[in-house]
Amino acid sequence: MRTPIIAGNWKMNLLNKDAETMVTELVPLVKDADCEVVLCVPYTDLLTVRKCVRGTNIKLGAQNVHWAESGAYTAEISASMLKELRIQYVVVGHSERRQYFGETNEKVNLRAKAALASKLRPIICIGETLEEREAGRMEDVLYTQVVECLKGFKSWDFDKSIIAYEPVWAIGTGKTASPEQANAACKFIRDTIKKKFSAKIADKIRIQYGGSMKGSNVKELMAMSEIDGGLIGGASLKADLFAEIVNYNK
């Protein structure tokens, strides 16, 4: 059985004081969760949130990591820097990084492998745009992303990695893929991993849905056979809304 994982991605939101208030409210609301709970927060909130989640069931993540150990990479953060802060997870390849900052599959692969080398768990984001879906290219896009983003992974790397399927057309738009659409995409991702790597790896790896999961649809989405959790955006900024998602089976 794959342990469900619900991760909040705060994006570029919440100053320290607001972050502390939010997490302090969240801790008692999710303390009995049956899933793994992760908060991926801005760099400036990491120390504040680390203090708030210490001794709780909430794990801490960052939103990006560079592939180099050190060097002349102004404004970037290395995996060892995050590890020193006792960060456990890191998001790589988010659709907004791809859209606004030219992130490529090759760079996502390098970032993920750098995270793994420092014993961080990468949440590797993939997904198609509306244009690609409407052109009937969803499977081609997902296949290419899986192959290129996971290139060179060892069998044990998959045990520490999460895949987040993000239909780009459903992020921040209010649109949501139907449970069946989301499940079909996640199944295709799993089948691709099975084909390119192994059935054992495909069966074990956790695949999140990252397209506007919220309290009103989380039960239906989490009931799908191939969906093992969610990567939550806006709803993760409010303790009560995020807790409703985390406690989907209560």
Predicted local distance difference test score (pLDDT) of residue 97? 95
Task: Check pLDDT > 70 for residue 211.
Answer: yes
pLDDT average, residue stretch 17-38: 98
Identity at 51, one-letter amino acid code? K
Model confidence at 225, pLDDT cuts 50, 70, 90, reads: very high
Q: Is 166 an annotated catalytic residue?
A: yes
**Tell me: the pLDDT tens digits for 83-131?**
999 999 999 999 999 999 999 999 999 999 999 999 999 999 999 988 8
Q: In angstroms, what CA-CA distances link 112 with 4, 62, 68, 123, 213?
A: 21, 13, 11, 8, 24
| 40 closest CA partner among 22, 64, 62, 68 | 62
Q: Which is catalytic among the residues 96, 103, 128, 166?
A: 166
Greater model confidence, 175 or 89: 89
Contacts with 32 (C-beta within 8 Å, 6 or more apart), sequence order: 247, 250
Give the domain range for residue 118.
Answer: 5-246
Q: Give the integer Cα–Cα distance in Å for 176 and 171.
A: 8
Q: Which is catalytic among the residues 66, 94, 103, 132?
A: 94
Predicted local distance difference test score (pLDDT) of residue 174? 64
Q: Which CATH number do you get for residue 12?
A: 3.20.20.70
Task: Check pLDDT > 70 for residue 173.
Answer: no
Q: Give the integer Cα–Cα distance in Å for 197 and 189.
A: 12
Torsion of the alpha carbons at 98, 245, 60 and 116, rounded to the nearest 10? -50
Model confidence at 30, pLDDT cuts 50, 70, 90, reads: very high
pLDDT average, residue stretch 69-87: 97
Kind and range of the H or E run holding 9: strand 5-9
Q: Which residues pair with residue 232 across a beta bridge?
A: 8
pLDDT average, residue stretch 136-143: 96
pTM of structure: 0.96
Q: Is 66 an annotated catalytic residue?
A: no
pLDDT average, residue stretch 183-206: 97
Kindly report the average pLDDT of the chain as a whole number: 95
Predicted local distance difference test score (pLDDT) of residue 55? 97
Predicted local distance difference test score (pLDDT) of residue 163? 98
pLDDT average, residue stretch 216-241: 97
Predicted local distance difference test score (pLDDT) of residue 1? 83
| 183 closest CA partner among 225, 155, 132, 151 | 225
pLDDT average, residue stretch 144-169: 95
Q: How many domains does the chain divide into?
A: 1
Q: Give the integer Cα–Cα distance in Å for 175 and 213.
A: 10
pLDDT average, residue stretch 176-190: 93
Q: Give the integer Cα–Cα distance in Å for 227 and 245.
A: 14
